[in-house]
Structure formats: structure tokens, C-alpha cells
């Protein structure tokens, strides 16, 4: 059996200050993406306009030729994009129904409260996807809402919500979706019959980030929406700089950002999109992520560490695992994994003690095996015994990939 090829082109040693990120974003970038950010271009220069247009074109190509769609770029974190989406798309006297079963669903509520947008929440359990019937019931109770807002993959836990089913229910009530797809766009296939289907799902706007499944750098978000959405949203915005309708109109007219863009991040994003196409597109990338997640679940299962989310609701973006025992030294464990060159995120679910492992970024089976070896060693370092099966490749470091 051929050994898996390493995707990370550096040895994860402390002395280098470089580590492999097994987080749901930011993610580990390729050498090509990091190198692309080394060039300087002017914010109003023709080069920046050319790069911006190319990034928009490549993102639209992911959307399976939907001519009615457009891409609007905005500097900032993912939350900037979500705030901009809510503030732009919801009328000043409007309200939304929010799907909430984790931190990012709660953030949608927090943003609505900050923006003065009326809201109602559909609350679901942390370990499974929302039942679309609950949304149907809530829309019957609150017919005044204009949109259903949700985080497609609730990365608090790794739950993936059934976007097409939620869209079908929303459509029956003549409502449209506002989708936080930070962790799913370019990580799940787009097109007819796929996980994200703009043709049948009534998506008013979808927002995502350069630093997740695109495998670029943090600091740039993008909104994908029908042009009609942005045209009818003019004047809604509660913020000058987070007005997506104004940014879209300005970019169409001038080929520029309204305010200083993150030019280096933009260059890195362009390179990341090229690399995604070279990999085989979103389909190939999605398969790699799916393989990463499955391999992680298998390896940790051999150590007696089980997933928190039920299998039918589990994404391949990140997986939440239960602690192996109640008195687990989590801080010591995370530190031990970090010393071996890997970064994990702590728990965010409230019901149980857990930790998360991301499956996205410039990583493959070689890096996954290196991480799982490190986890096994770290578990034993903090006093958790690992079975023989869990140690089956123990001792082989990521540097040997």
C-alpha cells in the first residue's frame, strides 16, 4: 500500500514556529498561497481590479453557471460578512427566523439584536441537524418574517443542516434563505442535486470566507447572491462599510473596492482558487475532506474516542469528539498535541466536554495520521491508556510523510 503523500511542505517543529492547523478555519495554506501574498499591488491599481474580477469569475464558476448570480467581495472576518448580509438583505422594518443550535446560530441572534432586526429562533439540539418540520411550525407561527437565517455547518459541533430541505420549507411559506456558508462553500459540491443548489433552494444571499474551504488567508469574505437581491436591498444597510449593495454597485461601476482592500489576501485567494481548480475542483476537494474526516473518526475510534454528533448529521468540515473520561486533563492534552506540531480547537458545545478536529485546509491522510499519532501520544502523556489498535502507526511522525 502506497504511503500517503504529505500536503504540508514543512516539518511541524516548534523551532520553526510552524504548525499544522486542524481547525475549521483559519486553515493550513499551501506554499503557493503563502508566496502569492508576497507581492505588493496598489488598492486602486489596474492590477487589483484584474485580480478582483478574476476571483469573482472563479467563484462564480463554482456556482454551475447560474447567470443571475454575482459575487461581492468585502474585507473582514466571517462575522463581518454575516453582519453585512443581515444588515443589507433585511428591510429596516423586517424580521428573520434564526436556526440556533450552536454558537454561530447564537451569533446570528446577537447580530440581529445589535442591528435592530426583529428575530425569532428555532432551537435544536447540539448533536444533530435541525428538523425542517420545526422550521415549518415556526413559520406558521411567525408569518411576518422575511427570511430564514442559518449557519449551514454549525462548526461549534460540526453539524450540517439540510439546506435543500430547509429551503423547500421556506419556499412553501414564500420566505428566502440567508446562509452563513463560511465552512461549506467550496467544501461541498454546488449544482443541481448537490448540497448547495442555487437552482431550487431560495437563497437570497450566501456568505463565505477566503480562509476556510478556499484555503486562502483570513481577511476577505464574499457574498454570492442574485443581482436582484442586491438591487432591492439598496438603502437597507445599517452600516456604511458593511453595505453589500453599495459595494456591489461601486465595484460594478469602477472595478474597485469602496475602501482599502486587503490586497495581499486577495492575491492569496486568487492563487488558492487556481489551486482548487488544479486539484480537480470542488468535487475533488470535497472528497479529500470527506476522507480526512473518515480517517480521523476511524483512528480516534480505535483509541476509544467517540464523535459527539450523530452520523447522519455529521459534516466532513470538522468533527467534535467526547473526552475519553470526565477527569481528562484537557489543557495538558492540547499542549502536548501542540508541542508535537498540531493545533486543535477547544470545546464549544455546552452539553458535554468535547474537543474539535477540523478536516479542511491543505491537509491529507498523511497529516491526519501524523495528528492521530500525536493525539495517541498526548493521551498517554496525560494518563489516558491507549489500546494496541489505537497505536497501530504510533511512532511515525508527520516529518516522515
Domain definitions of the chain by residue range: 14-30+281-400, 31-277
Q: What is the pLDDT of residue 394?
A: 45
Per-residue pLDDT at 360: 98
Residue 359: the pLDDT is 98
Task: Report the pLDDT value the prediction gives residue 173, as an integer from 0 to 100.
Answer: 99
Distance CA 94, CA 310 (A): 35
pLDDT at 28: 96
Q: How far is CA 277 from the centre of its chain?
A: 19
What per-residue confidence (pLDDT) applies to 14?
Answer: 39
SS3 126: coil
pLDDT score of 345:
81
- Say which residue the cell 467526547 belongs to: 322
Q: What global pTM score does this model have?
A: 0.93
Phi first, then psi, for residue 138 (nearest 5°) are -65, -35
Measured between alpha carbons, how far is 181 from 24 in angstroms, rounded to an integer? 12
Among positive and negative, which fits the CA dihedral 236, 238, 239, 242?
Answer: negative
Alpha helix ranges (H) inside 173-310? 227-232, 244-254, 263-279, 281-302
What pLDDT score does 326 carry?
80
Q: Is domain 14-30+281-400 in CATH 3.90.230.10, yes or no? A: no
Q: What is the chain's Cα-based Rg? A: 21
What distances in angstroms separate CA 95 from CA 62, 175, 251, 260, one per listed residue?
31, 11, 28, 32
pLDDT along the chain (401 residues), means of 10: 56 56 94 96 95 98 91 98 99 97 97 98 96 98 98 96 98 98 98 95 98 98 98 97 98 96 98 98 98 98 94 96 87 93 80 91 97 95 75 48 55
DSSP reduced 3-state for 345: strand
What pLDDT, on a 0 to 100 scale, did the predictor assign at position 9?
A: 54
For the domain made up of 31-277, give the CATH fold: 3.40.640
SS3 111: helix
Peptide bond into 26 cis (omega under 30): yes
Amino acid at each position: 500500500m502506497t504511503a500517503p503523500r504529505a500536503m504540508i511542505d514543512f516539518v511541524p517543529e516548534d523551532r520553526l514556529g510552524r504548525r499544522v492547523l486542524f481547525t475549521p478555519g483559519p486553515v493550513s495554506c499551501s506554499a503557493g498561497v503563502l508566496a502569492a501574498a508576497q507581492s505588493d499591488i496598489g488598492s486602486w491599481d489596474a492590477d487589483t481590479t484584474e485580480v478582483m474580477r478574476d476571483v469573482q469569475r472563479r467563484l462564480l464558476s463554482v456556482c454551475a453557471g447560474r447567470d443571475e448570480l454575482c459575487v461581492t467581495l468585502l474585507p473582514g472576518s466571517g462575522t463581518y460578512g454575516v453582519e453585512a448580509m443581515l444588515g443589507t438583505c433585511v428591510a429596516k422594518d423586517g424580521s428573520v427566523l434564526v436556526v440556533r443550535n450552536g454558537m454561530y446560530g447564537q451569533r446570528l441572534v446577537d447580530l440581529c439584536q445589535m442591528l435592530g432586526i426583529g428575530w425569532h429562533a428555532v432551537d435544536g439540539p447540539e448533536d444533530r441537524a435541525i428538523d425542517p418540520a420545526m422550521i415549518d411550525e415556526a413559520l406558521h407561527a411567525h408569518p411576518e418574517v422575511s427570511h430564514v437565517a442559518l449557519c449551514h455547518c454549525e462548526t461549534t459541533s460540526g453539524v450540517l443542516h439540510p439546506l435543500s430541505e430547509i429551503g423547500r420549507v421556506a419556499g412553501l411559506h414564500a420566505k428566502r434563505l440567508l446562509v452563513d456558508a463560511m465552512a461549506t462553500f467550496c467544501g461541498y459540491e454546488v449544482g443541481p442535486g448537490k448540497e448547495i443548489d442555487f437552482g431550487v433552494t431560495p437563497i437570497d444571499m450566501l456568505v463565505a470566507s477566503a480562509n476556510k474551504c478556499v484555503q486562502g488567508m483570513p481577511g476577505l469574505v464574499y457574498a454570492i447572491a442574485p443581482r436582484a437581491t442586491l438591487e432591492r436591498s439598496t438603502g437597507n444597510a445599517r452600516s456604511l462599510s458593511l453595505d453589500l449593495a453599495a459595494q456591489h454597485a461601486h465595484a460594478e461601476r469602477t472595478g474597485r473596492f469602496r475602501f482599502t482592500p486587503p490586497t495581499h489576501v486577495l492575491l492569496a485567494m486568487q492563487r488558492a482558487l487556481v489551486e482548487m481548480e488544479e486539484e480537480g475542483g470542488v468535487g475533488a476537494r470535497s472528497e479529500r475532506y470527506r476522507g480526512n474526516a473518515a480517517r480521523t473518526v476511524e483512528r480516534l475510534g480505535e483509541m476509544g474516542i467517540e464523535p459527539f454528533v450523530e452520523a447522519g448529521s455529521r459534516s466532513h468540515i470538522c468533527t467534535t469528539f467526547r473526552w475519553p473520561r470526565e477527569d481528562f486533563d484537557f489543557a495538558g492534552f492540547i499542549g502536548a498535541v501542540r508541542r508535537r506540531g498540531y493545533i486543535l480547537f477547544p470545546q464549544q458545545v455546552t452539553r458535554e466536554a468535547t474537543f474539535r478536529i477540523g478536516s479542511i485546509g491543505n491537509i491529507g491522510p498523511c497529516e491526519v495520521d501524523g495528528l492521530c499519532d500525536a493525539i495517541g501520544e498526548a493521551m498517554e502523556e496525560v494518563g489516558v491508556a491507549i489500546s494496541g489498535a489505537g497505536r497501530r502507526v504510533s511512532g511515525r511522525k508527520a516529518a516522515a510523510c
